């Protein structure tokens, strides 16, 4: 793939491991899929890969390693054994790994680990900052480095930063258990794009961002000030062509024959995992045990090969798991073996890649049943290696790959009785069924291979950067403020529409508490007393309240989204042909929801009814609001009504009135040379759309809008209005 920018890849480990043999340094290449995929990138031009060299080295060796690796575009991070212990073994693998794989009881919460994690993340960030410029693409990988994006962002605010998480992102209910949940999210939100394997991970991440950090999202995008952060699913894959070629290789074919001899042409079930409690190894062995109990006729005719790649076995939990596996394998073999045959062939070591490929090829069934897995590449490698398209994949629903490999036999790994049944089903599946399923899965894996993954991620990152730039130009900064003020100054007949709640005052739990303060009254009064201005307050509130609060000011008012309006000095008028006979029925339905939703309140206006859920627990309010809208949707449309979804409120009103149609009454009077509208809510979109295109329309907040510009808060709105007037009066003086 050709990328015009310099790319800096950052991961916990480099794609090379430094080892020492009799005092001499050795560099061992990683065969991993990610390393192969990214090697096409990091080796190009002056691209770089930053990561831990994989071993503890002394000072005199550091210089040599840096020199040796720099030729290969690799930049090592050196970690002491104390750092490895706290950052890698401790916080990454002892705290984050179990929690993110839904084993919260295994998680260790230690301040010491956390401090080391922070320190090491800073160390990685410092190395990036030393070398990166704002034009480079910085691509950070995985849960060991969750704080790095924002640490880099602090030093290089404009940096292009992508983050990809290779393990699952747990649901909010699990993630919230972490004492450092907020800091970790803030770390990730330093990226421009945060990638996960599945859409479920994306949802979980966004839900945590909303509930813990308080940022809303729209279409998978979170907006923090003028920066958009996109969260998306990029299911990782394998180098499909490489696995096809491997399966066809002469060495693989020789291994294939040996395996067939070893299993005596029996049917073969394979399982390949790293030693880990997330892989469901014990449950799978139990399922196989049940299968053998249920099918004594297959004793001597089926063999299971369980390959376990050693991992972290110095950690007590892993050591214990290894011992339990040993015990269960012995138990099953002891229970069912007959002379010349044993049910499980167990390998506790890493196999050469050609042997692995041969296993994939020979296997009748691949049993891939993790309790949780971000993706699981073994399942995809198995599919790719099946040149003759015969063989069955039994795949856990809890693996990310189950979202793509839907033609596999999907199982719940906890349901060992069902897994036992599915083993039998798989071993007896007709060849044509096997071929149909395998063909479909091969199509998926070949279409979405590692190259596509890479390309999609990079394209999305650049797309987000373009959106950010557009957004930046829409955020009102000093120079835009000045431009608006000048345009204000140069005009003589201005019309200014202002929404009230969320635009001029902040939201309060009780709507009646949001009365205007004296500063606001002064501000509006000055604005409205300028004879060149026509100020229209356009609100969803009832007209009595607005009259009470603003009746004394020389302004015009639109109330209840246009159901009522008043030009200064005249009486309140209601829009024509409005009915209120529907209100009792709607209020009756709303009351039923009130009984199930603590914290809601109903606001009855003359021609509309609002259902407020600002005080309801986050999430529940939105759920009930969606249920309510769904329940009344037919009733509402049959009567020419509309269910407006505002900020924590659902308002039922006539569909013939809205702020936009109300604003037209003023616009049609004509003669204006300055149009401005400011609002925070989506009911204000109608006003924005009703104004001529050259108008200064401003959205308060971060949601997508038809407005030309953005301001962050009601304070910024007040500041802008003040500045316009100030500039105006200063200029007049001079
Ligand atoms: C993370 C996530 C996600 C296994 N045994 C041998 C061997 N392997 C190779 C396989 C495969 C890889 O190891 C394991 O793949 P995983 O998908 O389990 O990946 P991990 O690196 O463990 O973990 C995971 C992945 O990142 C990618 O985002 O899928 O969910 O946990 O490639 O072939 N290779 C050789 N001999 C073996 O005995 N040569």
Lowest mean pLDDT: which of 186-190, 328-332, 724-728?
A: 724-728
| Distance (Å) from CA 88 to ligand 1 centroid | 18
Is 247 a member of any domain?
yes
141-150, 190-199, 427-436, 637-646, range with the lowest pLDDT = 637-646
> Are residues 273 and 361 part of one domain?
yes
Write the residue with the smallest CA distance to atom 20 of ligand 1: 376
What six digits make up the tokens of 58?
């002394």
* Ligand 1 contact, 351 CB (< 6 A): yes
- Per-residue confidence band for 553, with pLDDT thresholds at 50, 70 and 90: very high
Is 358 exposed, middle or buried, given 0-12, 13-18 or 19+ CB atoms closer than 10 A?
A: buried
Q: Is 313 a catalytic residue?
A: no
pLDDT at 218: 77
Residue 558: pLDDT above 80? yes
The CA-atom distances, in angstroms, between 703 and each of 129, 222, 483, 534 are 32, 9, 24, 28
Structure tokens belonging to residue 356 = 């692995």
**Looking at ligand 1, which residue's alpha carbon is closest to its atom 6?**
350
β-pair type (494-498, 533-538): parallel
On whether residue 681 sits in a domain, the answer given is yes
Of 200, 233, 266, the position where a domain reaches its end is 233
Establish if 217 belongs to a structural domain.
yes
Atom of ligand 1 nearest to the CA of 376: 17
At residue 32, the pLDDT reads 66
50 & 31 share domain: yes
- The answer to whether 65 and 59 have CB atoms below 8 angstroms apart is no
C-alpha to C-alpha distance for 414 and 16, rounded to whole angstroms: 37
C-alpha separations of 318 from 91, 219, 274, 314, 717 in Å: 16, 40, 11, 7, 58
Determine if ligand 1 sits within 6 Å of the CB of residue 556: no
On whether the CB atoms of residues 495 and 676 are closer than 8 A, the answer is yes
Tokens of 159: 């940096």
Residue with tokens 């039923």: 592
674-679 and 137-141 as β-strands: parallel, antiparallel, unpaired?
Answer: unpaired
Look at ligand 1, atom 30, and give the residue with the nearest C-alpha: 374
Q: Answer yes or no: are the C-beta atoms of 13 and 51 closer than 8 Å.
A: yes
- CA 172 to chain CA centroid, nearest Å: 12
DSSP assignment of 422-484 equals HHHHHHT--HHHHHHHHHHHHHHHHHT-HHHHHHHHHHHHHHHHHHHHHHHHHB--HHHHHHH
SS3 of 357-415: HHHHHHCCEEEECCCCECCCHHHHHHHHHCCCCCCEEEEECCEHHHHCCCCCEEECCCC
Q: Which of 210-224, 474-488, 524-538, 557-571 has the lowest mean pLDDT?
A: 210-224
Q: Is the pLDDT of residue 20 over 50?
A: yes
Ligand 1 centre distance from Cα of residue 223 (Å): 35
Give tens-digit pLDDT for 497-520: 999 999 999 988 777 788 999 999
Q: Is 272 in the pocket of ligand 1 (CB under 6 A)?
A: yes
Does the Cβ of 521 fall within 6 Å of ligand 1?
Answer: no
Give the position of tokens 């096809």.
Answer: 244
**DSSP β-ladder status, 74-77 and 48-52:** parallel
Is 454 domain-assigned?
Answer: no
Q: Is residue 127 part of a domain?
A: yes
For ligand 1, whether the C-beta of 368 sits within 6 Å is no
pLDDT score for 728: 63
Residues 487, 603, single domain; the answer is no
The one catalytic residue among 136, 142, 201, 499: 499
For 623-636, the pLDDT digits (tens) are 899 999 999 999 99
- 594 - beta bridge partners? none
- Domains of the chain: total: 4
If asked whether residues 256 and 207 sit together in one domain, one would say no
Select from 654, 678, 706 the last residue of a domain.
654
pLDDT at site 28: 86
Task: Tell me the pLDDT tens digit for each residue of 91-109.
Answer: 999 999 999 999 999 999 9
What are the residues facing 697 on neighbouring strands? 677
Domain span including residue 40: 7-233
Mutation test of ligand 1: which of 198, 375, 453, 457 has the most ligand atoms closer than 8 Å to its C-beta? 375
> For residue 344, which of 423, 277, 426 has the smallest C-alpha distance?
423
Q: What is the number of the ligand 1 atom nearest to the C-alpha of 347?
A: 38
Interacting residues of 212 by C-beta distance below 8 A, sequence separation 6+: 172, 175, 176, 181, 182, 185
* Ligand 1 atom nearest residue 33's Cα: 32
Q: Judge if the beta carbon of residue 325 lies within 6 A of ligand 1.
A: no
Would you place residue 732 in the very low, low, confident or very high pLDDT band (cuts 50, 70, 90)? very low
376 Cα to the center of ligand 1, angstroms: 7
The CATH number of residue 601's host domain is: 3.30.70.1020
- Residue 309's DSSP bridge partners are 274
C-alpha to C-alpha distance for 703 and 682, rounded to whole angstroms: 9
Q: For 439-486, how does the pLDDT look when each residue is reduced to its tens digit (9 = 90+)?
A: 999 999 999 989 899 999 999 999 998 888 877 778 888 889 999 999
Give residue 378 CA to ligand 1 midpoint distance, Å: 6
């Amino acid at each position: 793939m050709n990328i015009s920018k310099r790319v800096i890849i950052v991961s916990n480990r480099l794609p090379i491991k430094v080892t020492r043999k009799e005092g001499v340094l050795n560099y061992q290449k990683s065969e991993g899929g990610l390393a192969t995929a990214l090697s096409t990138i990091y080796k190009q031009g002056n691209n770089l890969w930053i990561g831990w060299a994989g071993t503890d080295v002394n000072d005199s060796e550091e210089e040599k390693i840096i020199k040796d690796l720099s030729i290969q575009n690799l930049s090592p991070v050196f970690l002491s054994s104390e750092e490895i212990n706290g950052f890698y073994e401790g916080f990454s693998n002892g705290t984050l790994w179990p929690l993110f794989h839904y084993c919260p009881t295994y998680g260790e919460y230690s301040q010491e680990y956390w401090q080391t994690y922070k320190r090491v993340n800073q160390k990685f960030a410092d190395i990036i900052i030393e070398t990166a410029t704002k034009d480079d693409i910085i691509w950070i990988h995985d849960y060991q480095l969750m704080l790095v994006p924002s640490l880099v962002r602090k030093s290089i605010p404009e940096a292009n930063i992508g983050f990809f998480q290779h393990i699952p992102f747990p649901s909010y209910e699990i993630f919230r258990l972490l004492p450092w949940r907020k800091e970790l999210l803030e770390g990730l939100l330093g990226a421009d794009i945060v990638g996960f394997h599945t859409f479920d991970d994306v949802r979980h991440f966004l839900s945590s961002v909303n509930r813990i950090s308080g940022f809303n999202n729209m279409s998978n995008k979170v907006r923090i000030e003028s920066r958009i952060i996109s969260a998306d699913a990029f299911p990782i894959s394998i180098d499909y062509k490489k696995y096809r070629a491997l399966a066809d290789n002469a060495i693989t074919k020789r291994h294939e024959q040996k395996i067939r001899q070893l299993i005596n042409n029996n049917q073969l079930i394979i399982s390949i995992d790293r030693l880990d409690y997330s892989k469901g190894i014990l449950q799978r062995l139990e399922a196989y045990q049940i299968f053998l109990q249920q099918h004594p006729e297959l004793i001597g005719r089926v063999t299971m090969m369980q390959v376990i790649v050693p991992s972290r076995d110095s950690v007590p939990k892993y050591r214990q798991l290894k011992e339990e596996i040993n015990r269960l394998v012995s138990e099953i073999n002891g229970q069912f073996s007959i002379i010349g045959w044993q049910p499980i062939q167990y390998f506790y070591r890493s196999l050469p890649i050609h042997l692995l490929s041969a296993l994939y090829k020979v296997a009748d069934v691949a049993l891939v049943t993790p309790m949780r897995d971000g993706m699981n590449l073994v399942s995809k490698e198995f599919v790719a290696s099946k040149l003759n398209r015969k063989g069955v994949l039994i795949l856990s629903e809890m693996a990310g790959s189950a979202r793509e490999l839907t033609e596999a036999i999907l199982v719940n790994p906890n349901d060992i009785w069902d897994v036992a049944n599915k083993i039998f089903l798989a071993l007896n599946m007709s060849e044509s069924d096997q071929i149909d399923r395998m063909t479909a899965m091969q199509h998926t894996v070949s279409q979405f291979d590692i190259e596509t993954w890479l390309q999609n991620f990079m394209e999305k990152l650049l797309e987000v950067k373009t959106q950010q730039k557009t957004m930046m130009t829409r955020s009102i900064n000093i120079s835009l403020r000045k431009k608006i003020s000048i345009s204000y100054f140069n005009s003589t007949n201005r019309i200014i529409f202002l929404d009230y709640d969320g635009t001029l005052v902040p939201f309060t739990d009780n709507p009646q508490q949001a009365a205007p303060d004296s500063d606001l009254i002064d501000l509006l009064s000055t604005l409205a007393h300028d004879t060149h201005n026509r100020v229209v307050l356009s609100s969803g509130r009832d007209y009595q309240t607005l009259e009470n609060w603003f009746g004394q000011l020389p302004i015009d008012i639109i109330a209840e989204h246009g159901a009522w309006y008043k030009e200064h000095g005249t009486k309140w008028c209601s829009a024509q042909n409005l009915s209120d006979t529907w209100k009792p029925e709607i209020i009756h339905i709303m009351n039923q929801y009130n009984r199930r939703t603590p914290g809601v309140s109903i606001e009855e206006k003359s021609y509309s009814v609002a259902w407020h859920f600002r005080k309801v627990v986050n999430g529940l309010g939105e759920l009930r609001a969606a249920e309510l809208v769904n329940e009344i949707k037919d009733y509402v449309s049959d009567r020419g009504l509309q269910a407006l979804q505002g900020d924590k409120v659902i308002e039922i009103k006539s569909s013939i009135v809205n702020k936009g149609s109300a604003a037209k009454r003023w616009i049609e009077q004509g003669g204006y040379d300055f149009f401005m509208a400011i609002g925070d809510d989506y009911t204000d979109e109608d006003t924005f759309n009703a104004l001529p295109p050259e108008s200064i329309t401003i959205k308060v907040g971060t949601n997508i809008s038809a407005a030309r510009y953005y301001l962050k808060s009601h304070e910024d709105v007040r500041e802008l209005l003040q500045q316009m007037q100030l500039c105006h009066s200063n200029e007049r003086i001079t």
